[in-house]
Structure 1
Amino acid sequence: MDPYIEHHLRLHKQRAFAELPPEVVELGSGVGANLRYLPAGATLIAVEPNRHMHARLRSAAARAGVRLDLRERLAESTGLPDHSVDTVISSLVLCTVHDPDAVLAEVRRILRPGGAFRFVEHVAAPDGTPTRLAQRLVRRPWAWTFEGCSCERDLEGALRAAAFASVEVERYRVRTAFLPFNTQIAGVAVTPRASS
């Protein structure tokens, strides 16, 4: 579904993933949909627990000229050292993890002071809307079909509660036949800078 999703999310990804540094950690890299946003010659530390994605991710990274450091780990426990990276990215991942709050705590742990978490995620629609009703009605088959994805999470609330120094969020809707997927957020959360 990469071409379909990319068509609907490209502009938001271009903004959220603009000017990425030469080394990036990505949570849930899948088969490499976001390699196109990395600078030439970049290093991607890919945290991807699904080994069935690994061969295609390796091939895509080689084609893109990206050095791949592939880690078969969960986003809740990356195994990276404290305060060791400048940038973490994710797209359509926080909806699938077991514990989004634990993932955000892990992101904070591995980011250096002033580091950025850049995200594009789909979220629960506002209560009382037709989209929210659709999300509730299809939640189980949706999760079975899309690798455990929950379309009912308040990820913006989780980001704002995760003790980042700042959280910039753009809320938007995509127009797709997949109504539960249509409410989205994109943005950047920055860790506190070191005190002098």
Structure 2
Amino acid sequence: MDSRSARTALVPFFQGCVKLLALPIYVLSFLGYWDPVCKRIFPYFMSKLSKRYNQKLHKEKELLFSNLESFAGVSGQLSLLEIGTGSGTNFPFYPPCCQVTCTDPNPNFETYLQQSMAENRHLVFERFLVSSGEDLHQVPDSSVDVVVCTLVLCSVHSVPAVLEEVLRVLRRGGAFYFMEHVAADRSSWTYFWQQIYDPTWRYLGDGCSLIRETWKDLENAKFSELKLRRINAPLKWTPTRPHILGYAVK
């Protein structure tokens, strides 16, 4: 048996150990109590963690969003829809007078979102929609210049369904910007630990998966152009270091 096969054989055992340590969470979930609690406390922790994330990846985000204005429509004003806006940590990277529509399936983020809006007066905020990325029916077809989605595709129910909605709401020539943590190379130790933590991580991270190969969904979506690169984010001691980021054009 080679080393990769040996590691794979050990995954169920170590998964079980982690589940045993997190047994109270599994019991609360079985009783139907964990999800409501998680929905309430998750926005608070994410608002704190997102600030640290922005500090660690400030340069990467600046570079990612540096050409946003080039996708502005004929009016010259950029219309932007953000999926899974959370606490609004991307706002400082958007250009002045950008018209922003925010969406998130968790209404408990709105308090933190309002605070970010107050701190980013250079933007024009249109509305906040409580909706999932798979169902953006309140947004008309071909109505926005740019769609942004960061650290969201790891937790949606269906990445292909989200990308279908992105393509629907984008005007022709518009762009989809993404920055997501993804599965590591399957032969790596990082992937080994991602597999072990993944079942429990989903409970702690409100559905977040560590082992999604999101780049495959982007490659299979019907974008005319895809600019994608990989980085190892400077996030020590976490299984979320492997990232993809870039943009795709409709």
Q: TM-score, normalised by structure 1?
A: 0.92
1:6 alignment partner AA: N
| 1:91-114 deviation per Cα after TM superposition (whole angstroms, max 9, x unaligned) | 101001111110011101111111
Matched, 1:28 2:84: yes
Partner of 2:143: 84
Q: CA deviation at 1:171?
A: 0.5
Matched, 1:180 2:239: yes
Whether the 8 Å contact between 1:61 and 1:67 is mirrored in structure 2 is no
Gap runs ≥5 in structure 1: 192-196
Aligned equivalents of 2:113, 2:237: Cα separation in 1: 26
Aligned equivalents of 2:51, 2:130: Cα separation in 1: 25
Aligned equivalents of 1:42, 1:176: Cα separation in 2: 30
Greater shift in the superposed pair: 67-76 or 156-165 = 67-76
Greater shift in the superposed pair: 60-69 or 99-108 = 60-69
Aligned equivalents of 1:7, 1:94: Cα separation in 2: 21
Whether the 8 Å contact between 1:87 and 1:118 is mirrored in structure 2 is yes
In the TM superposition, structure 1's runs of 4+ consecutive aligned residues that sit over 6 Å from their partners are none
Partner of 2:101: 45
Matched, 1:62 2:62: no
- What is the aligned residue count? 191
Matched, 1:10 2:69: no
Partner of 1:119: 178
Partner of 2:131: 73
Partner of 2:11: none
Aligned with 1:129 (options 188, 193, 196): 188
Q: Which has the higher helix share?
A: 2
Greater shift in the superposed pair: 89-98 or 141-150 = 141-150
Does the residue aligned with 1:108 lie in a helix, a strand or coil? helix
Does the residue aligned with 1:74 lie in a helix, a strand or coil? coil
Aligned equivalents of 1:42, 1:175: Cα separation in 2: 29
Aligned equivalents of 1:60, 1:4: Cα separation in 2: 15
Aligned equivalents of 1:62, 1:165: Cα separation in 2: 36
Whether the 8 Å contact between 2:57 and 2:234 is mirrored in structure 1 is no
Sequence identity of aligned pairs in percent? 32
1:70 alignment partner AA: F
Greater shift in the superposed pair: 175-184 or 131-140 = 175-184
Aligned equivalents of 2:215, 2:133: Cα separation in 1: 18
Does the residue aligned with 1:2 lie in a helix, a strand or coil? helix
* Aligned-residue CA RMSD (Å): 1.3
Aligned equivalents of 1:24, 1:4: Cα separation in 2: 24
Aligned equivalents of 2:196, 2:244: Cα separation in 1: 22
Q: CA deviation at 1:67?
A: 2.8
Matched, 1:150 2:209: yes
Distance 1:85 1:121, change over 3 A: same
Whether the 8 Å contact between 2:184 and 2:191 is mirrored in structure 1 is yes
Gap runs ≥5 in structure 2: 1-48, 70-77
